[in-house]
Structure 1
């Protein structure tokens, strides 16, 4: 009997400790997080997460920087872009220096540059070649960050 009472008391203690912890904002961004902002408790977190997941608005929000989501500041998180630049660094440097070429076209496509804006994109990269490739020993990550910096200014 004492073990049973001790077990129940332990369960109550663990539950009390769990609820005494300050609320966490673990639902991310999106419509659900916006609708239930400032509400505390597990039920509101479940509702926010369900709303965010049901409508797929987190993906759109992160991509566009809306719904209280932060848009990524750099292209470095794009695995396909990282792999392409790493594998084609020399060819990409040559094409950027010329302002044209297959690897430059692929880069623009991977970065989501609209077709109509590509000539300006190519010219911008060519003009800022020395900022994108400041030395021979540059890494692909640095190249991507330099391209992002040059094209966003």
Structure 2
């Protein structure tokens, strides 16, 4: 009986100290996701609340979705968002972009540079590099937009 009373007392002390622990930022310890959304407004986010938040995130496996979509308290990585926008733009403008890259100038190329967040001062050098690499970017007639974006992104990184 003494053993049970001791264990119950120890659990009660641990639970109360875990809950009443010093306030901290739930997100910094548990990350974004459903657990963060559910427990972010807790008045006293001690260790117990953080365990619930982390367990919720892990159980529902939603952090990856939150990160890639920029929801559930997650920020979408700028490079992911940029590549996603570039993929959509290139898919809708493949032919015009090919013409502009071959010419080394044009509105479609300007728009792509804007989406890729290339500084205006660096664009002439980039356009020249893209023009020189036209045959590598459009190496076949039925090249897809992801391949074009990948090749263009590689050239942007080098310039």
The structure 2 residue matched to 1:92, chosen from 72, 76, 97, is: 97
Aligned residues: 101
Q: Is the 8 A contact 2:30 2:50 kept in 1?
A: no
Structure 1-normalised TM-score?
A: 0.53
Who is 1:3 aligned against? Answer: none
Who is 1:77 aligned against? Answer: 84
Shift of 1:146: 1.0
Answer yes or no: is 1:112 the counterpart of 2:117. Answer: yes
Query: Mind listing any 5+ residue stretches in structure 2 that lack a counterpart?
Result: 1-28, 37-46, 58-72
**Matches of 2:155 and 2:121, distance apart in 1:** 19
The structure 1 residue matched to 2:148, chosen from 131, 143, 146, is: 143
CA gap 1:102/1:42 in 2 versus in 1, 3 angstroms: farther
Shift of 1:42: 4.9
Superposition CA RMSD, Å = 3.4
Who is 1:38 aligned against? Answer: none
**Matches of 2:75 and 2:121, distance apart in 1:** 26
Query: Mind listing any 5+ residue stretches in structure 1 that lack a counterpart?
Result: 1-24, 33-40, 50-56, 64-70
Answer yes or no: is 1:101 the counterpart of 2:106. Answer: yes
Shift of 1:143: 0.6
Structure 2-normalised TM-score?
A: 0.52
**Matches of 2:30 and 2:90, distance apart in 1:** 34
User: Aligned to 2:125, what secondary structure does the other structure show?
Assistant: helix
Q: Which has the larger radius of gyration?
A: 2
Who is 1:59 aligned against? Answer: 75
CA gap 1:142/1:43 in 2 versus in 1, 3 angstroms: same
Who is 2:49 aligned against? Answer: 43
CA gap 1:86/1:99 in 2 versus in 1, 3 angstroms: same
Q: Is the 8 A contact 1:108 1:118 kept in 2?
A: yes
